[in-house]
């Protein structure tokens, strides 16, 4: 059959090719061996095909390619996608189209494409690849790069236009042949150069982080040293623990800000290392502990105030939370918050894939794409927190109703007046926390329903909206208390 030009052997059960399988086919130009069970290629199995132009070995079980398997070919298109390759050997200089998507490539070392100046289309989608600065060196005529790795387009050859660095959401044919802009998306917060891509976000990150650190250190100093006579009350104990949890958010922001400076102008090729690093893991744990602990403590403060204000004359008031009980409850809540934050790192690595899906080391479920661990994050950040805030809202309504129905009769004693003042302050704390968590809950539900959230919204929620209450809380529940105390002295 020496005149065969086109040979399609796809979708069979071929598991091996002998050395002389293609002997006597000098005119063969198109060979399709896709969707078979080939695991090994012999070194000279293709040597008798001098004018082969199209070779499709996709969807097989190939793990290693012999060093000289392509050496005698002038092939133009090679498809090796959906195999188990981890190393790419030297390609024929004639290759114009190469597809190595959905393999096991972790990196493409500099020099891989030194012999591939004619390559014009390259697909590396579906590989967990590290972004390296000179990985595409030698691809001077590349026009299309298919990749779903964040920041890979940051190191694309200059010959690849921005609208021809594509991802896997939109079909390749549509992007290639239609007059449309199809661009692989990077991280929603980071840019090619910086961990925090927006200068405005970077400024707010430092402001919020600094205010959170200073404000909560001040609260702890005031509660432990100046106002220590009241540290035995349940309210003061919960507020002290709330300042400790908010302090963790300030530490988290300082870590992110510091590494933004560390990776300035070189972030793209350090993204994978950063998101899988121990520092990023610790930062994410601190952020999660702070967020959940703050929510738990606001719930406990609400319950404590409901007992005092709504049931002032009942037996429940006589059994309100004591100082020792408050410390035990706070310790238990710390254990719960730490467990919730550490579970993904210690016991669910298979689920979270060992790294965070954003450069700021948060796992908020606010994107439409199903990311590793998004189900767990949705259950904690959206479902659990929403349930807690419903209970808090009920408590606030009960206190408000009690104050309205009782009129002015409650101000008979100075203690009752202080309780009402604390209730008003608590309302402000709850309101600010609700304004921070409500958008997260809404966006999380919208994302889960398939709605696309703009990248700018996602970035502002993660860097500004989520941590801002950690900076505001100290001024609401302690700065106001200090001011009122001075007013009473005067």
Residue 121 lies in a domain: no
Task: Quickly state the pLDDT bin for 370 (edges 50, 70, 90).
Answer: low
Q: What is the pLDDT of residues 432-459, one digit of tens each?
A: 777 776 777 777 777 777 677 676 777 7
Dist. CA 107–CA 86, nearest whole Å:
8
Residue 192 lies in a domain: no
Residues 377, 378, 379, 382, CA torsion sign: positive
Dist. CA 122–CA 175, nearest whole Å:
14
> Which residue in 98, 103, 48, 59 sits closest to 78, CA to CA?
98
> Which residue in 125, 97, 104, 23 sits closest to 61, CA to CA?
104
Per-residue model confidence (pLDDT) at position 351: 47
Q: Mapping DSSP to helix (H, G, I), strand (E, B) and coil, where does residue 30 land?
A: strand
Chain mean pLDDT for the chain? 80
Per-residue model confidence (pLDDT) at position 251: 94
Residue 105 lies in a domain: no
Instruction: Report the pLDDT averaged over residues 363-380.
Output: 64
Per-residue model confidence (pLDDT) at position 367: 56
Instruction: Report the pLDDT averaged over residues 386-411.
Output: 73
Query: What's the length of the chain?
Result: 490
68-72, 107-111, 269-273, 301-305, range with the lowest pLDDT: 301-305
pLDDT exceeds cutoff 50 at 295 = yes
Per-residue model confidence (pLDDT) at position 371: 59
pLDDT exceeds cutoff 90 at 223 = no
pLDDT exceeds cutoff 70 at 108 = yes
| 18 vs 316: which has the higher pLDDT | 18
The DSSP secondary structure of 66-109, one letter per residue, reads -TTTTTT---SEEE--SS------PPPTT--EEE--SS------
Residue 17 lies in a domain: no
Q: How many domains does the chain contain in total?
A: 1
The torsion angles phi and psi of 335, rounded to 5 degrees, stand at -65, -40
34-38, 403-407, 409-413, 477-481, range with the lowest pLDDT: 409-413
The DSSP secondary structure of 221-279, one letter per residue, reads HIIIIISGGGTTSHHHHHHHHHHHHHHHHHHHHHHHHHHHHHTTTT-GGGHHHHHTSHH
Per-residue model confidence (pLDDT) at position 59: 96
Task: Quickly state the pLDDT bin for 98 (edges 50, 70, 90).
Answer: very high
pTM equals 0.76
Dist. CA 317–CA 423, nearest whole Å:
16
Task: Quickly state the pLDDT bin for 320 (edges 50, 70, 90).
Answer: low
- CA angle 286/291/293 to nearest 5° reads 90
Q: What is the pLDDT of residues 36-72, one digit of tens each?
A: 999 999 888 998 998 999 999 999 999 999 888 888 8
pLDDT exceeds cutoff 60 at 360 = yes
Q: Kindly state the DSSP code that residue 210 receives in the 8-state scheme.
A: H
Residue 390 lies in a domain: yes
Residue 8 lies in a domain: no
Per-residue model confidence (pLDDT) at position 180: 46
Q: What is the pLDDT of residues 230-255, one digit of tens each?
A: 667 777 788 889 889 999 999 999 99
CB 220 within 8 A of CB 245: no
Q: Which residues span the domain enclosing 206?
A: 199-489
351: domain CATH number? 1.20.1070.10
Residues 187, 192, 195, 200, CA torsion sign: negative
Per-residue model confidence (pLDDT) at position 425: 63
Residue 36 lies in a domain: no
Task: Quickly state the pLDDT bin for 423 (edges 50, 70, 90).
Answer: low
Residue 191 lies in a domain: no
Q: What is the pLDDT of residues 144-189, one digit of tens each?
A: 899 888 888 888 998 988 878 877 544 455 555 554 444 555 567 8
């Amino acid at each position: 059959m020496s005149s065969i030009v086109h040979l399609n052997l796809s979708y069979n059960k071929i598991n091996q090719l002998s050395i002389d399988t293609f002997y006597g086919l000098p005119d063969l130009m198109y060979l399709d061996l896709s969707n078979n069970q080939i695991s090994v290629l012999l070194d000279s199995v293709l040597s008798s095909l001098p004018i082969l132009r199209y070779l499709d070995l996709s969807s097989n079980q190939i793990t290693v390619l012999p060093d000289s398997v392509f050496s005698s070919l002038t092939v133009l298109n090679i498809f090796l996608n959906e195999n188990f390759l981890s190393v790419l050997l030297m390609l024929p200089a004639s290759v114009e189209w190469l597809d190595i998507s959905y393999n096991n490539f972790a990196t493409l070392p500099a020099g891989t494409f030194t012999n591939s100046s004619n390559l014009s289309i390259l697909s590396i989608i579906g590989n967990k690849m590290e972004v390296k600065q000179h990985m595409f060196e030698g691809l001077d005529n590349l026009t299309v790069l298919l990749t779903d790795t964040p920041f890979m387009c940051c190191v694309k050859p200059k010959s690849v236009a921005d609208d021809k660095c594509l991802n896997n959401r939109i079909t390749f044919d549509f992007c290639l042949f239609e007059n449309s802009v199809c661009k692989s998306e990077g991280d929603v917060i980071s840019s090619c150069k910086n961990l925090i891509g927006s200068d405005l976000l970077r400024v707010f990150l430092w402001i919020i982080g600094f205010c959170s650190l200073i404000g909560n250190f001040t609260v702890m100093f005031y509660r432990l040293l100046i106002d220590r006579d009241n540290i035995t009350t349940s309210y003061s104990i919960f507020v002290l623990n709330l300042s400790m949890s908010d302090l963790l958010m300030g530490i988290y922001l300082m870590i992110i800000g510091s590494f933004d400076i560390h990776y300035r102008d070189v972030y793209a090729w350090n993204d994978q290392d950063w998101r899988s690093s121990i520092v990023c893991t610790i930062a994410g744990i601190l952020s999660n502990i702070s967020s959940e602990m703050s929510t738990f403590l606001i719930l406990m403060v609400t319950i404590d105030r409901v007992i005092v204000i709504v049931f002032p004359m009942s037996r429940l008031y006589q059994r309100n939370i004591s100082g020792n009980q408050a410390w035990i409850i706070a310790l238990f809540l710390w254990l719960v918050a730490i467990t919730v934050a550490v579970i993904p790192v210690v016991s669910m690595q298979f689920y979270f894939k060992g790294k965070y899906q954003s450069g700021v080391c948060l796992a908020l479920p606010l994107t439409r794409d199903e990311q590793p661990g998004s189900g767990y994050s949705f259950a904690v950040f959206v479902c659990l927190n929403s349930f807690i805030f419903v209970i808090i809202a009920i408590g606030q309504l009960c206190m408000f109703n009690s104050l309205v129905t009782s009129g002015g009769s409650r101000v008979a004693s100075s203690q009752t007046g202080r309780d009402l003042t604390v209730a008003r302050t608590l309302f402000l704390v709850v309101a600010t926390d609700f304004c921070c968590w409500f958008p997260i809950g809404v966006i999380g539900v919208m994302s889960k329903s398939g709605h696309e959230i703009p990248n700018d919204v996602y970035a502002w929620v993660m860097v500004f909206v989520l941590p801002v209450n950690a900076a505001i809380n100290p001024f609401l529940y302690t700065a106001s208390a200090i001011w009122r105390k001075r007013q009473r002295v005067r």
